[in-house]
């Protein structure tokens, strides 16, 4: 239980950089990728990119989940948001362990592209928020399912095993958001 509390606190603290670093440069994802290109890693370049991008995606899903749990006008949106808040910290923890073991530097705040999407969702309310949230999560989870399937084929055993083990979770997130229709 303490691990979950620590992870939730850590995720929240990491994301606090969203407001304070909205104009920070370079982008946290690009910075991590640049560091990884300049140091010897224990995984392939493709595995490194997968880890970095999936940490970024998990950070975003966590924060969008919190937003949906608070702002969703439909019960289904709020419940899905809460699911993201619960499911993302364990995935982040496992990705961070994988990154540490592989010597991969990961972003500590959401990357610039996702930060812009988040800020846009902050401006919306009610059904407009629901519609944009559904579209954003569908797009993100379709991308993530594809990336996890690709990662299963990487020559890096630990990364491939992680992707294979967690693909069903990501697929269930996609199925969950595809089952929610925006109110008309």
The whole-angstrom separation of Cα 137 and Cα 82 is 14
- What are the domain boundaries of the chain? 2-178
How confident is the model at residue 88, as a pLDDT? 97
How confident is the model at residue 167, as a pLDDT? 98
Model confidence pLDDT, tens digit, residues 132-148:
999 999 999 999 999 99
Q: Stretch 27-52: mean pLDDT, rounded?
A: 86
What confidence tier does 11 reach under pLDDT thresholds 50, 70, 90? Answer: very low
Q: Which two tokens stand for residue 33?
A: 């990728």
pTM above 0.75, yes or no: yes
pLDDT value at 3 more than 60: no
> 2-178: which CATH topology?
Ferritin (1.20.1260)
Model confidence pLDDT, tens digit, residues 149-177:
999 999 999 999 999 999 999 999 999 99
Please enumerate in sequence order all residues whose Cβ is within 8 A of that of 68, keeping only pairs 6 or more positions apart, or say none: 77, 78, 80, 81, 84, 129, 133
């Amino acid at each position: 239980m303490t691990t979950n509390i620590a992870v939730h606190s850590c995720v929240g603290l990491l994301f606090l950089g969203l407001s304070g670093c909205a104009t920070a440069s370079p982008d946290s994802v690009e910075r991590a990728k640049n560091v990884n290109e300049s140091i010897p890693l224990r995984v392939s370049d493709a595995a490194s990119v997968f880890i970095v991008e999936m940490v970024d995606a998990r950070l975003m899903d966590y924060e969008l989940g919190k937003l949906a749990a608070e702002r969703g006008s439909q019960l289904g949106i709020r419940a899905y948001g809460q699911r993201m808040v619960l499911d993302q910290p364990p995935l982040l923890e496992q990705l961070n362990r994988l990154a540490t073991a592989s010597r991969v530097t990961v972003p500590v705040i959401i990357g610039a592209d996702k930060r812009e999407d988040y800020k846009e969702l902050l401006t919306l309310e009610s059904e407009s928020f629901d519609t944009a949230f559904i579209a954003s999560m569908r797009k993100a989870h379709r991308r993530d399912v594809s990336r996890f399937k690709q990662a299963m084929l990487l020559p890096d055993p630990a990364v491939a095993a992680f992707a294979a083990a967690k693909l069903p979770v990501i697929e269930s997130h996609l199925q969950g958001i595809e089952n929610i229709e925006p109110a008309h």
